[in-house]
Amino acid sequence: MWARFEYQNYEKLYIKSGLCKHLYSDGGTNFIGADNSLRIWQKEFRNSIDTDIAPTLTARGIQWHFNPPHSPNFGGLWEANVKAVKTHLYRSFKLTAMTYEELSTVLTQIESCLNSRPLCPLSADPNDLSPLTPGHFLIGGPLLAPPEPSPPDGQRLLRQFWHRWSADWLSHLQARPKWRQERTNLQIDDLVVIKDDRLPPNEWKMARIIDLHPGEDGLVRVASLKTVSGTYKRSLSKLCPLPISTNPTPKLEEVQ
């Protein structure tokens, strides 16, 4: 039963995101059961069609990779995302009762939020303000949400999650090390995210740096920005560099 349930979830993943080549997960019995079912169905499929078609189709079979038991550190990347979602889900929805359909809808919207986060510039064009997002790997473009002039309860819950999670993620981009360190200044044409608590889910205010305003010590604390709505000056405390930089940065040096 668990294997069938997991395979149905895999079918939904295929419909929404395309056929995947590799899956990574912990060694849960439900995942192992789903993997066994996939292998059985793949073998039956291979034996039920002509030999000239089978090699082409079955070559797209999925190879499932299992982490060692009791070793969540092996899945650090996705485990960190799971932890972030669980933390903000609990804070936002702990006193809310939802049906299965409502919870499924909200979780799908939350998935869209996480896959909308900007990773790096989409191109080297200084006039292009579009970032590359995880959504580009799933559907070939950014994930967008329709506007909601009067949000229902589901949208209200989504907004609660969005404000908590996006603020936490942007703060992570601006994380300061424990020890004082010198970092390179932001550079002209860098693509950054502007902090704005008023934005709806799945929307990020992107900007290109067009000018820097260093202080007497040579450190930049203010920058002029180009956005889709005009040019502005903002303090660097309101700017978040993208997690994947396209500009080479020198090694950090500790201030003695």
Q: Is the pLDDT of residue 14 over 60?
A: no
The lowest-confidence range among 111-120, 178-187, 198-207 is: 178-187
Q: Given pLDDT bands bounded at 50, 70 and 90, which one contains residue 238? A: very high
**What per-residue confidence (pLDDT) applies to 6?**
42
Answer yes or no: is 251 within a domain: no
Residue 104 and residue 166 share a domain: yes
Q: For residues 112 and 224, state if they share a domain.
A: yes
| pTM of the model as a whole | 0.67
Tell me what pLDDT residue 56 has. 67
Of 238, 167, 158, 171, nearest in space to 201 by CA: 158
How many Å separate Cα 152 from the centre of its chain?
A: 25
Q: Please report, to the nearest 10 degrees, the dihedral formed by the alpha carbons of residues 174, 180, 181, 184 taken in order.
A: 50
Give the pLDDT score at 13.
45
Bridge partners, residue 222, by sequence: 213, 235
Answer yes or no: is 256 within a domain: no
Query: What is the Cβ-side half-sphere exposure of residue 24, based on CA atoms within 13 angstroms?
Result: 10
- Is there a domain that residue 202 lies in? yes
CA distance 115 to 89: 16
Q: Report the alpha-carbon distance of residue 35 to residue 29 in Å, rounded.
A: 10
Q: How sure is the predictor about 253, in pLDDT bands with cuts at 50, 70 and 90?
A: very low
Together in a domain, 43 and 81: no
Q: Which of 55, 70, 85 is the last residue of a domain?
A: 70
- Please tell me whether residues 55 and 181 are part of one structural domain: no
**Same domain, residue pair 121 and 15:** no
Same domain, residue pair 12 and 61:
yes
- CA–CA distances in Å: residue 107 to residues 45, 86, 91: 33, 11, 14
Domain boundary, last residue among 30, 48, 70: 70
Q: Given this model, what pLDDT does residue 211 score?
A: 93
Position 225 confidence tier, pLDDT thresholds 50, 70, 90: very high
Residue at 255 is within a domain: no
As a whole number, mean pLDDT of residues 178-197 equals: 78
Q: Is residue 254 part of a domain?
A: no
Say whether both 34 and 159 belong to one domain. no
Q: How far apart are CA 118 and CA 240, in angstroms?
A: 11
Judged on CB neighbours under 10 Å (0-12, 13-18, 19+), 110 is buried
Tell me, rounded to whole angstroms, the distance of Cα 138 from its chain centroid: 11
214 - beta bridge partners?
Answer: 220
Tell whether 197 is covered by a domain: yes
186 with 171, same domain: the answer is: yes
Share of the chain above pLDDT 90, in %: 18
Looking at the fold, whether 35 and 132 belong to one and the same domain comes out as no
Our count of domains for the chain comes to 2
50 with 27, same domain?
A: yes
In a shared domain, residues 96 and 202: yes
Is 45 within the bounds of a domain? Answer: yes
Q: Collapsing DSSP states into helix, strand and coil, what is residue 226?
A: strand
**pLDDT, tens only, 81-131:** 788 788 888 888 877 888 888 888 888 888 888 889 999 998 888 889 999
Shared-domain flag, residues 25 and 82:
no
d(CA 28, CA 9): 15
The residue among 181, 201, 188, 193 whose CA lies nearest residue 227 is 193
Token pair, residue 72, equals 């969540």
Tell me if residue 108 falls in helix, strand or coil.
helix
Among 48, 70, 92, the domain boundary falls at: 70
For 136-150, write each residue's pLDDT tens digit.
888 888 887 665 555
Structural domain containing residue 178: 77-142+150-245
